[in-house]
Amino acid sequence: MRILVAVAVTAALALRAEAQDVEHFDTIEKAVDAAKKAKKDVLVDFTGSDWCGWCIKLSDEVFKQDAWKKGASAKYVFVELDFPQRRKLDDRQKAYNERMQALYGIQGFPTILVLDSNGQAYAKTGYQEGGPEAYLKHLDELAARKQEIADLRAKAKEGKKEDQVAALESLLGKLAEWEVEAGWLDVKESLVALDPPKETKVKHARALALAFHGRGDVDKHKKYLQIVRDLDKDAAAGIETSIKLETDVMPLLKKQDWKGGLEKLKPMLEAKGEAGQQAHYFAGVCEFRLGNKEGALKYIEKALELAPDGPLADECKAAIEHLKP
């Protein structure tokens, strides 16, 4: 009997070893702590687990398979940030997931964000055909980017200031191409500290001021906002308008309180440039939802006039085309 028990236990342990799951966490911070100790990378799965067809396929075809668990457990720790429609998350987790979605600019599901053991993203991917083996191969190919990043960071520590600025700009260009630029705040801080040309400095200091506001780092937010203000008052106003839109206006628009949103927007309509574009565009949205197409058209035409090449220019053009009689 003892021999049979021993054989059964041994067999069970062997099966468990074959299908050892990837270590799972509910926050990126916890996963990064574990990844540093284990010298692994982090996979962050932004998913709609109970409604998104491609998310369900990715889970069924890859993440639930023993071949995935066996191959990935030695290389990765896993974070699932879920956005379900039927299953209810607790308020803390829901708020955290939404904050990470905004921080990393996640637009659709499933999105798999791949971070190194220091918590810096180097790849963004999604569903891939072929099952677990093909997915592991795909991730291995993406991991080659880490050496490319390391080489550019090394170049940024050598030569004249102009060469260091060029290397950091090249690195940020690569990260933007890979759609993971949002998380690399230390690179942008290094670039601003090198005192690049005004346009470059304003661009990255602006991004830092917004990013640190999103992360709740008040001191760094104020530091970079002041750098922008000293160089370009309109750009600083744009930052403040973006924050007001996020904190004061968007919650009302999510509730479809178009009248309340319009009232909140009115003090922002004096802003110029991209800030003014944002305020006028959303004022136009509110007027349209309130049934005032003529008023909506005026606001959106003004939005396009204020920043013809701004981030909302394409949306403005499409809206104008739709609203014109």
pLDDT of residue 132: 97
Question: What CATH number is associated with residue 138?
Answer: 3.40.30.10
Q: What is the model's pTM?
A: 0.75
Q: Which of 143, 161, 180 is the last residue of a domain?
A: 143
Q: For residues 151 and 256, state if they share a domain.
A: no
Q: At 215, is the pLDDT very low, low, confident or very high (cuts 50, 70, 90)? A: confident
pLDDT of residue 103: 85
Q: For residues 31 and 124, state if they share a domain.
A: yes
Q: For residues 173 and 64, state if they share a domain.
A: no
Q: Which of 13-17, 26-30, 105-109 has the lowest mean pLDDT?
A: 13-17
| pLDDT tens string 121-176 | 999 999 999 999 999 999 999 999 999 999 999 999 988 999 999 999 999 999 99
Mean pLDDT over residues 216-244, rounded?
92
pLDDT of residue 182: 83
Q: Which domain holds residue 278?
A: 239-323
Q: For residues 57 and 131, state if they share a domain.
A: yes
Q: For residues 74 and 113, state if they share a domain.
A: yes
Whether the pLDDT of residue 17 is over 60: the answer is no
Instruction: Pick 145 or 238 by higher pLDDT.
Output: 145
Whether the pLDDT of residue 102 is over 90: the answer is no
For the chain, the three-class secondary structure string (H helix, E strand, C coil) is CHHHHHHHHHHHHHHHHHCCCCEEECCHHHHHHHHHHHCCEEEEEEECCCCCHHHHHHHHHHHCCHHHHHHHCCCEEEEEEECCCCCCCCHHHHHHHHHHHHHCCCCCCCEEEEECCCCCEEEEECCCCCHHHHHHHHHHHHHCHHHHHHHHHHHCCCCCHHHHHHHHHHHHHHHHHCCCHHHCHHHHHHHHHCCCCHHHHHHHHHHHHHHHHHCCCHHHHHHHHHHHHHHCHHHHHHHHHHHHHHHHHHHHHHCCCHHHHHHHHHHHHHCCHHHHHHHHHHHHHHHHHCCCHHHHHHHHHHHHHHCCCCCCHHHHHHHHHHHCC
Whether the pLDDT of residue 1 is over 50: the answer is no
pLDDT of residue 234: 83
Mean pLDDT over residues 197-219, rounded?
92
pLDDT of residue 146: 96
Q: For residues 299 and 248, state if they share a domain.
A: yes
Percent of the chain surpassing pLDDT 90? 78
Most confident of 65-79, 148-162, 203-217, 267-281: 65-79
Mean pLDDT over residues 229-254, rounded?
90
pLDDT of residue 20: 64
Percent of the chain surpassing pLDDT 70? 94
pLDDT of residue 248: 92
Question: What CATH number is associated with residue 246?
Answer: 1.25.40.10
Whether the pLDDT of residue 275 is over 90: the answer is no
Do the Cβ atoms of 46 and 102 come closer than 8 Å?
Answer: no
Whether the pLDDT of residue 8 is over 50: the answer is no
Q: Which of 143, 160, 187 is the last residue of a domain?
A: 143
pLDDT of residue 237: 85
Question: What is the average pLDDT score of the chain?
Answer: 90
Q: For residues 81 and 105, state if they share a domain.
A: yes
Q: Which of 176, 196, 231 is the last residue of a domain?
A: 231
pLDDT of residue 86: 94
Q: At 7, is the pLDDT very low, low, confident or very high (cuts 50, 70, 90)? A: very low
287 vs 268: CA distance, rounded Å:
15
Domain total in the chain: 3
Q: For residues 164 and 211, state if they share a domain.
A: yes
